[in-house]
Each structure stands twice: as C-alpha cells, then as structure tokens.
C-alpha cells in the first residue's frame, strides 16, 4: 500500500474534525437521555417548528435551560435558553416562529400551560432581560444570527390557558435514538467516500472512518459531557 498523499492527509484531518463534532453531538444526546431517564422533567413543545424538548435547570449544555433567576409558571415570567447550533440545536428554527403561534409548557405539579406568541425581537448580546414576579410571560432566548453570539433572538409568549398536564409528552423522549442516527449517518457517508476514493489510498480513509465510528459507538454507551469536547474546539464555532 502506497504512503498517504497530501490530499489523503487533508481528507483524514477533515474527517477527524467532523468526527469531533459528531462525537460532541453523540455525547450530548446520550448524556441527555441518561439524565432524563425516569425523570419527570418539564418540557417545552412548539408545534410550528417541531420542538419537543425536556427542560433542565443545570446547564445549557444539557439542552433547554430554565434560567435560575426567573420563575416557575404561574409564579412569574419564565425564561428559557437554548442552543441554536450544536448540542442538539433545540432552538435552531426559533426565527421561524410567528405571532399567534402556540408555545406549550408541560410542567409537573403545575399543568400544561398554553402561551401565545406576541413578539419577536433581536437585541444585543449584553441586553438584560429581567423576569417579573407574578408575570404571565414566557421568553425563549437564543443567539442570532445562526453561528454567531453577536445578538440575542427573543420570542415572547403570553399565558393564554392552563390545562391538566399531558403525561404522554412528559414520559416520552423523541430524541432517544439521535445518537445512533448520527453514528449511522457518519458511517454511511464515510463508506461512500471510501468507495469512490482512489484505490491505492482507500484503506487510509476506510480505517479513519472505522476508528471514528467505533469511538462514536462507545460514546453512545458510555457518554461524557459534550462540553468537554466543544471546549476543545470552540475556536471552530463561536455561536450557540
């Protein structure tokens, strides 16, 4: 087998970089599933953009974060933060929300809260949004534009009604298979690339893909915090 060419080395480096991002996402979803298993966490559902996410009060790296300085529903304004790129990208399509759209909060011990979107605005990153005790608003906050931390996109919803909690939404986890799906996609694309690569260099690409896939499968079973990976490659992506 011939030595790897410069082109092959560049392709391998690109595969490793893509593999790091894939590893970050695999660990994100795998860790998130472990954390949410058998836990009745609150959830946010946005039918218009297909969002069905559990809410945590620990870290933005675990998904949609309930801002600790804000309030629970019916006690005051609720502030939720979410990534727009990487780590599940729960708020990727937040810019597609329109006035009148429905935002649902499923909150154990409180119920299902229906909010109607009344405003969408973009503000500087240093803008301070303060939750009001006794307020009836829900704020969804993410970075804008996509891939940048320059501004913040804020969606404001006003409480419209409260109903009994939907236990089916609370107990379900639509992201359960995402880690395996990402691994499978990387495997298929890698094998296709290997197949069409020059024969005398093909084994280098195939071996690189295979090693990365084995690591991804390991992360599916034994995940680590995704931020440990993204902290190492933050210079490649400055947004959330």
Residue for token digits 């995940």? 223
pLDDT above 70 for 239: no
Residue for token digits 């093909």? 202
Average pLDDT, the chain: 88
pLDDT confidence tier of residue 230, bands split at 50, 70 and 90: confident
Strand pairing report for 102-107 and 111-124 = antiparallel
pLDDT of residue 229: 75
CA angle, 81 as apex, 91 and 236 as ends, to 5°?
65
What percentage of the chain carries pLDDT values higher than 70?
Answer: 93
Domain spans of the chain?
Answer: 6-24+176-236, 38-171
pLDDT of residue 105: 95
Torsion of CA 216, 218, 219, 220, to 10 degrees: 90
pLDDT, tens digit (0-9, with 9 covering 90-100), for 208-228: 999 999 999 999 998 887 777
pLDDT above 80 for 152: yes
Residue 104 contacts residue 92 (beta carbons within 8 Å): no
Give, as one character, the DSSP assignment of residue 5: P
Give, as one character, the DSSP assignment of residue 76: B
Segment 97-114 mean pLDDT = 93
CATH class entry, domain 38-171: mainly beta
pLDDT, tens digit (0-9, with 9 covering 90-100), for 14-24: 999 999 999 98
Query: Burial code of 156-189, b = ≥16 C-beta within 10 A, e = fewer?
Result: bbebeeeeebeeebbeebebeebbeebbeebbee
Give 52 or 170, the one with higher predicted confidence: 52
d(CA 57, CA 111): 18
pLDDT of residue 85: 83
Segment 140-168 mean pLDDT = 90
pLDDT above 70 for 235: no
- The strand pairing partners of 116, in sequence order, are 102, 158
Q: Residue 222 corresponds to which tokens in the numbers above? A: 């034994």
Segment 54-71 mean pLDDT = 86
pLDDT, tens digit (0-9, with 9 covering 90-100), for 118-143: 999 999 988 989 899 999 999 999 99
pLDDT of residue 103: 96
pLDDT confidence tier of residue 46, bands split at 50, 70 and 90: very high
Torsion of CA 152, 153, 154, 157, to 10 degrees: -170
pLDDT above 50 for 195: yes
d(CA 126, CA 29): 29
Torsion of CA 131, 134, 136, 141, to 10 degrees: 10
């Amino acid at each position: 087998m011939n030595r790897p060419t410069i082109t092959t080395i560049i392709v391998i480096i690109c595969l490793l970089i893509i593999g790091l991002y894939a590893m970050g996402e695999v660990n994100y979803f795998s860790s998130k599933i472990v954390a949410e298993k058998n836990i009745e966490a609150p959830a946010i559902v946005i039918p218009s953009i297909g969002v069905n996410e559990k809410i945590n009060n620990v870290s933005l790296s675990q998904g949609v974060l309930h801002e600790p300085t804000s309030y629970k529903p019916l006690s005051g304004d609720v502030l939720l933060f979410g990534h727009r790129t990487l780590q599940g990208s729960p708020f990727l399509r937040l810019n597609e929300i329109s006035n009148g759209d429905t935002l649902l909060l499923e909150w154990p011990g409180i119920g299902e809260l229906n909010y109607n979107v009344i405003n969408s605005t973009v503000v500087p990153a240093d803008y301070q949004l303060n939750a009001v005790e006794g307020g009836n608003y829900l704020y969804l906050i993410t970075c804008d534009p996509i891939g940048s931390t320059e501004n913040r996109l804020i969606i404001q919803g006003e409480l419209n009604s409260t109903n009994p909690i939907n236990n089916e939404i609370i107990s379900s986890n639509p992201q359960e298979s995402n880690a395996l799906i990402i691994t499978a996609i990387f495997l298929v694309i890698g094998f296709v690339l290997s197949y069409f690569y020059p024969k005398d260099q093909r084994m280098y690409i195939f071996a690189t893909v295979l090693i990365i896939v084995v690591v991804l499968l390991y992360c599916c079973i034994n995940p680590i915090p995704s931020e440990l990976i993204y902290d190492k490659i933050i210079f490649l992506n400055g947004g959330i």
